[in-house]
Amino acid sequence: MNLTVNGVAHEVDSAPLSTLLHVLREELGITSPKAGCEQGGCGACTVLVDGEPRRSCLTAVGAIDGAEVTTVEGLGTPEALSPVQQAFTHHYAAQCGFCTSGMLVAAEAYVRGGGTDEPEAIQEALAGHVCRCTGYVKIIDAVAAFARGEEFDLSTTAASPGMTNLGGAQ
Amino acid sequence: MKAVGARLPRYDGIEHVTGRTQFVDDVRVPGMLWAKALRSPVHSAEIKGLDVSKAEAMPGVHAVITWKDVPLLEYGHLSALGIPADEPLLARDDVRYKGQPIALVAAEDEETAAAAADAIKLDLEERTPLFDIRKAFDADAPKIHQWGNWYPHFENEMDRRQIRKGSIEEAFDKADVIVQGVYRPAAIEHVPLETQVALVVPEANGRLTIYSCTQALYFSLGVVAAHLQVPLNKLKVVGGTVGGGFGGKVDTASETMSALAARKSGRPVKWRWTREEEFLCSSTRAPWHMEIADAVTKDGWILGRKMLTLHDSGAYARFSPYGLTKHSFHHTGAYTIPNLHFDGFVVFTNRVPTTAMRGFGVTSVSFATETHMSRIAHELGLDPYEVRLRNANRIGDTSPNRIVYTDPSTVAVVKALAGGMDVELGSEYASMTRDKREGDLLPEHLVGQLADPEDH
């Protein structure tokens, strides 16, 4: 079986009934999709399969032979964040970070598919994603700003990778 | 105040949105084994037999640990504070809650580990379980704990957390009305998106490196070292990245058994709980039973409070004595009541042990006391904001455990709430401050109860 993950072609050795989550995490070492429940209930394992958000924990890899898979690693890099990553950073939409990967790719698919900044529509699009930290408000704000195509000055909200102090608060 | 209200960069913000944050489950080490637990299938039973030989002989299985592999079987999270231990790391003589760990298997993959755990022969003799804390005191209640059905080791070996202040008899004699209420908040599972997980790596120098999702790294360090009977410098705990905790990752849930399996197998071991295990077997916020009877005057002064609290600890004590102590200190809420009679019990049941969750011990009593304040207002036909302001903590008032309030915020908060709800307060309340009660503002029942904040 073959998969293209974030633009890189891979030959997959795992059995066809292995979950896509298992293949990504354990065979290919791509760890942004999380094993939150492995029952399709929490959304933390969501990735894009041919552009559509899919629960990687419920997707048998044999069923998507030849597909293009996108994870958060394929959206942007720390040096060049994609617009949805910038929006989540600016709005502090990631708290513990465990649900964030799934939220980001679902938001990416929503806006690519013509989604607007209407809160009810965003809630509908992200309804399958559980977050226990934020209370969702900041996530919805971030997706709305992303849908509007806003640009952000991240010089105060972002920090360079590896930064471990509180910026100007010392 | 440079930080308050400022937009500060999150030190982990970029890592989170680029998928680069390394949670415990994301750590990669060569040669790693997966662990699965054999857990009690019943709520209460005596263990008559435990045979792991078939599991140990299965291909791909590298270690099976039971109570026999634990150098110090019983160690409590509060042992360092002198609170005795009651819970074995792995069940030995009996199981007291459904999901209690009995054995841990480490194998080449999760499927093999699960199959080996299933192959362990377990002989149980079921007993009648106890679930209702109100029935724990009955003469014919099942005896479910070696200490009795409630915790007996508060200071001076008292079997309850007790507070006595002023004269409760006098307060009830003088009351116009007795207002009673019973409050019973339920158990709540924290549901962190990241389930309990540990990865333990045996190092060539004899140390164990423990990757932990704990909220309480030094608890984990101390608890693992005690069970393994090794000095602290033989353990390196790597923590700090928690995929949601909310109090549920204060207990050392997975590190110790993973460490034992890593030591026995000589291989790195990861134990990642399933969502089902997280719901069924991880500790929860406790259910509570609270009974309040207040001696109240017809104009809304609370002269005295009698309160009984039953704190459902589940099968073992863990942090519950500490949680109940905090609860007792807050049992008048944000209000001043001079005459108090409080009894609180940490009660054992055959439920999963309970633990901290967001305001450990205090959230429950806040729910009860705030509901009760509104009940008092309702029964007396008074405004609920005004009843709260009348009894609000003021400078110089004292808490149930005799802490003098020097910076109380009740008056400001209740006035802000009234404002936010467009409630017009009577002039006496609208002009109220938190200043020390004096002159006409000092009611008879608080005479002699006030302290001078300067003295503290």
Please indicate whether, in this complex, the C-beta atoms of A92 and B272 are within 8 angstroms of each other.
no
Residue A161: its chain B contacts at CB < 8 A? 14-15, 20
Nearest CB to A96 within list B191, B242, B272: B242
The chain A residue lying nearest B240, using CA atoms, is A96
Angle (CA) B177 B179 B181, round 5°: 170
Tell me what the pLDDT averaged over chain B comes to.
95
For residue A160, the distance in angstroms to the closest alpha carbon of chain B comes to 7
Q: Which residues pair with B398 in a beta bridge?
A: B404
pLDDT for residue B442: 82
pLDDT for residue A122: 98
d(CA A108, CA A117): 13
| Backbone phi and psi for residue B265, each to the nearest 5 degrees, phi listed first | -90, -20
Please indicate whether, in this complex, the C-beta atoms of A41 and B275 are within 8 angstroms of each other.
yes
Task: Please list the pLDDT of chain A residue by residue as tens digits (170 residues).
Answer: 999 999 999 999 999 999 999 999 999 999 999 999 999 999 999 999 999 999 999 999 999 999 999 999 999 999 999 999 999 999 999 999 999 999 999 999 999 999 999 999 999 999 999 999 999 999 999 999 999 999 998 887 776 554 444 433 33
* A9 SS3 class: strand
Residue-wise pLDDT for A90-113, tens only, equals 999 999 999 999 999 999 999 999
Alpha carbon of residue B167 to chain centroid: 31
d(CA B209, CA B202): 6
The chain B residue lying nearest A164, using CA atoms, is B11
Please indicate whether, in this complex, the C-beta atoms of A36 and B16 are within 8 angstroms of each other.
no
Residue B10: its chain A contacts at CB < 8 A? 89, 92, 94, 157, 159
Residue B17: its chain A contacts at CB < 8 A? 72, 81, 85, 88-89, 94, 100, 104
Residue-wise pLDDT for B135-163, tens only, equals 999 999 999 999 999 999 998 999 999 99
Reported pTM: 0.94
Residue A96: its chain B contacts at CB < 8 A? 192-194, 242-245
pLDDT for residue B453: 64
CB pairs under 8 A between A and B: 130
* B188 SS3 class: strand
Q: How many helices (H) and strands (E) does chain A have?
A: 5, 5
Please indicate whether, in this complex, the C-beta atoms of A98 and B195 are within 8 angstroms of each other.
no
d(CA B259, CA B247): 22
pLDDT for residue B248: 96
Residue B274: its chain A contacts at CB < 8 A? 38
Would you say the ipTM is above 0.90?
A: yes
pLDDT for residue B77: 84
The chain B residue lying nearest A47, using CA atoms, is B19
> Domain B155-186+284-455 belongs to what topology?
Aldehyde Oxidoreductase; domain 4 (3.30.365)
For residue A133, the distance in angstroms to the closest alpha carbon of chain B comes to 7
Residue A128: its chain B contacts at CB < 8 A? none
For residue B190, the distance in angstroms to the closest alpha carbon of chain A comes to 8
pLDDT for residue B255: 98
- Which domains are assigned to chain A? 2-74 (3.10.20.30), 83-158 (1.10.150.120)
Nearest CB to A156 within list B9, B23, B243: B9
Residue B192: its chain A contacts at CB < 8 A? 96, 98, 132
DSSP-assigned letters across all residues of A43-85: -TTEEEETTEEEETTT-BGGGGTT-EEE-GGGT--SSS--HHH
Mutation site, A28, A37, A75, A134, interface B, largest B CB count within 10 A: A37
Task: Please list the pLDDT of chain B residue by residue as tens digits (456 residues).
Answer: 677 888 888 889 999 999 999 999 999 999 999 999 999 999 999 999 999 999 999 999 999 999 999 999 999 888 888 888 999 999 999 999 999 999 999 999 999 999 999 999 999 999 999 999 999 999 999 999 999 999 999 989 999 999 999 999 999 999 999 999 999 999 999 999 999 999 999 999 999 999 999 999 999 999 999 999 999 999 999 998 999 999 999 999 999 999 999 999 999 999 999 999 999 999 999 999 999 999 999 999 999 999 999 999 999 999 999 999 999 999 999 999 999 999 999 999 999 999 999 999 999 999 999 999 999 999 999 999 999 999 999 999 999 999 999 999 999 999 999 999 999 999 999 999 999 998 777 888 888 777 766 655
d(CA B243, CA B250): 13
Please indicate whether, in this complex, the C-beta atoms of B3 and A169 are within 8 angstroms of each other.
yes
Please indicate whether, in this complex, the C-beta atoms of A163 and B11 are within 8 angstroms of each other.
yes
CB-facing half-sphere around the CA of A46: CA atoms within 13 A: 27
d(CA B213, CA B5): 30
